[in-house]
Amino acid sequence: MCPDDHSDNEKSEKTVTSRVLVVEDNPELRRLLNQGLDEEGFDVTMARDGREALSIAESSEPDLLVIDIGLPDSDGRDVCQALKSAGVEAPVLFLTARDSGADRVSGFSAGGDDYLTKPFVFAELVARLRALARRAPVTSKEEVGDLRLDPVRHVLTSGEQSAELTPTEFRLTGALMSRSGEVIRRREMIAAAWPSGAIVHDNTVDVYVRRLRKKIAEVKSETEIHTVHGVGYRLE
Ligand code: CA
Interval 88-123: pLDDT, tens: 888 899 898 765 454 554 555 566 778 888 889 999
User: In angstroms, what is the span from residue 202 Cα to ligand 1's centroid?
Assistant: 38
pLDDT band, residue 225 (cuts 50/70/90): very high
User: In angstroms, what is the span from residue 33 Cα to ligand 1's centroid?
Assistant: 13
CA distance 227 to 212: 13
Q: Which residues contact 203 (CB under 8 A, 6 or more apart)?
A: none
pLDDT of amino acid 10: 39
User: In angstroms, what is the span from residue 168 Cα to ligand 1's centroid?
Assistant: 26
User: In angstroms, what is the span from residue 80 Cα to ligand 1's centroid?
Assistant: 15
More confident residue, 58 or 10: 58
Inform me whether the pLDDT recorded for 26 exceeds 70. Answer: yes
Inform me whether the pLDDT recorded for 12 exceeds 70. Answer: no
User: Are the C-beta atoms of residues 194 and 179 closer than 8 Å to each other?
Assistant: no
* Domains located in the chain, CATH noted: 11-133 (3.40.50.2300), 143-235 (1.10.10.10)
More confident residue, 66 or 180: 66
Interval 27-61: pLDDT, tens: 999 999 999 999 999 999 999 999 999 999 878 88
Maximum average pLDDT range among 4-18, 185-199, 200-214: 200-214
User: In angstroms, what is the span from residue 117 Cα to ligand 1's centroid?
Assistant: 12
pLDDT band, residue 187 (cuts 50/70/90): confident
CA distance 88 to 65: 10
State what percent of residues in the chain have pLDDT above 70: 83
pLDDT of amino acid 161: 95
User: Looking at residue 200, what DSSP letter applies?
Assistant: -
User: Are the C-beta atoms of residues 94 and 120 closer than 8 Å to each other?
Assistant: no
User: Are the C-beta atoms of residues 19 and 64 closer than 8 Å to each other?
Assistant: yes
pTM of the model: 0.55
pLDDT of amino acid 6: 45
